[in-house]
Amino acid sequence: MLEKVFFVRVPLNDAGLQELDDVSATFQNDRVFRFSWQDSDYLMPLLLDFNDRFHLLIDLYEDETLPAEHVAEALAMAKAYIAEHSDEPDVQTVIGRLVEALELAQSLGMPVLFDF
């Protein structure tokens, strides 16, 4: 049986940015962060907060892009979420990977694609 996985993608350059909506793209110009189905239990509360704050619809059934102009605030929210759950190692690990993706996107001035 195949495991359901989710990806968070950060374009590394303009070519990666153009590939965001291209279903045939090879994603050679993206950094891909992989999350398991179980990880979604830890991700969804924070992603729902992103939805409310940035007027998005990130869910487990369709893709959504967090625009570059919201990455810094989303990163601050993710770091605060980790701090609030400092006694939960699984939350620290899963959200820590999301923080890594957001930090990369912020450093490159790129959006983040939630490829679910």
Task: Catalogue all structural domains in the chain, each as residue range(s) with its CATH number.
Answer: 5-115 (3.40.1760.20)
How many helices and strands in the chain, by DSSP H and E? Answer: 4, 4
- Please tell me whether residue 100 adopts helix, strand or coil conformation: helix
In whole angstroms, give the CA distance from residue 36 to residue 13: 26
pLDDT in tens, 96-108: 999 999 999 999 9
pLDDT number for residue 86: 93
Helices (H), the chain: 14-19, 40-54, 71-84, 89-108
pLDDT number for residue 24: 65
Would you say 23 and 15 are in contact if contact means Cβ atoms under 8 Å apart? Answer: no
pLDDT number for residue 25: 67
pLDDT number for residue 23: 63
Q: Which amino acid is at 55?
A: H
**Other Cβ atoms within 10 Å of 68 Cβ, number:** 16
Beta pairing partners, 5:
36
Half-sphere exposure of 60 (CA within 13 A, CB side): 13
Per-residue confidence of the chain (116 residues) as pLDDT tens digits?
567 889 999 999 998 888 877 666 677 899 999 999 999 999 999 999 999 999 999 987 888 999 999 999 999 999 999 999 999 999 999 999 999 999 999 999 999 999 88
pLDDT number for residue 60: 79
Torsion 109-28-63-37 (CA) sign: negative
Beta pairing partners, 56:
none
